[in-house]
Amino acid sequence: MTDPGTHMVSDGRTARELFDEVMDRPARARFGFGERLAIVNVDVQNAYTRVDRYATAYESDPRQIEYINTISQLARRAGMPVVWTHVAYHAGRGDAGVWGTRTDTPDSLQNIAEGSDRHAFDERADVQPETDLVLTKRMPSAFFETQLASFLVWHRVDTVVVTGGSTSGCVRATAVDSLSHGYRTIVPIETSADKHESYHFANLTDLQLKYADVVPVAEVVERLAAAPDAEEGSAADA
């Protein structure tokens, strides 16, 4: 049914129900995996993952970070790039721009100070700074005013796997920009998180319909596990 005076469907289904329906009966072809992918782990930092410390944190799947670590480790083994982002601001907070003007509390975005515990990656995350690209960003998308785009070009990436949080915020923004830059874009369901179930599933649904392949993390694990080890690939090319 539709609401009177509009052309929008309003049939009482929840965001989770709509997501399940779209996933059970996909209406669009997949972008699919290309030849070489990168894992982009968005804002796996204490401010957004430590529900035991911060009101701004969230958890949609208790194994989220475990899954992120698994696909990151498999990508490294295959010689494919892994990227981690976290968000923080200078002491003056002017680099938060207009995004930092809506509230001003200890929990506010612009009060995530560089070098603070809120800025720090969750200690459960397997960040490897000696091999992974680590970025501090200021805005939602991992592409905005960072070297991510040129990094992916240099590494001949054609597929970007986006994990992290929030599904409705920085994951979505990164996935949309990934598609806009011409990358096949994958969002593994269990690796993304948000504050509210409705935001989480509504945005996964929209990503699946428009911008990305939203898939079980097991699909990404299977794909990466089948890739040759980087050392084996180098020996084969010799």
Q: Where are the domains of the chain?
A: 33-229
Query: Of 170, 212, 215, 220, which one is the catalytic site residue?
Result: 170
- What pTM value is reported for the model? 0.94
| Tokens, residue 116 | 């603070």
Dihedral (Cα; 131, 137, 143, 145), 10-degree rounding: -110
Closest Cα partner for 193 from 57, 14, 59? Answer: 59
Retrieve residue 60's tokens.
């949609």
Q: Using CA atoms, how far apart are residues 18 and 30, in angstroms rounded to an integer?
A: 19
Average pLDDT over every residue of 135-154: 98
The predicted-structure confidence for 158-214, as pLDDT tens digits, reads as follows: 999 999 999 999 999 999 999 999 999 999 999 999 999 999 999 999 999 999 999
Residue 235, pLDDT > 50, answer: no
Across the chain, how many H-helices and E-strands are there?
8, 7
31 catalytically annotated: no
Q: In this structure, which topology does domain 33-229 adopt according to CATH?
A: Rossmann fold (3.40.50)
- Specify the 3-state DSSP secondary structure of 76: helix
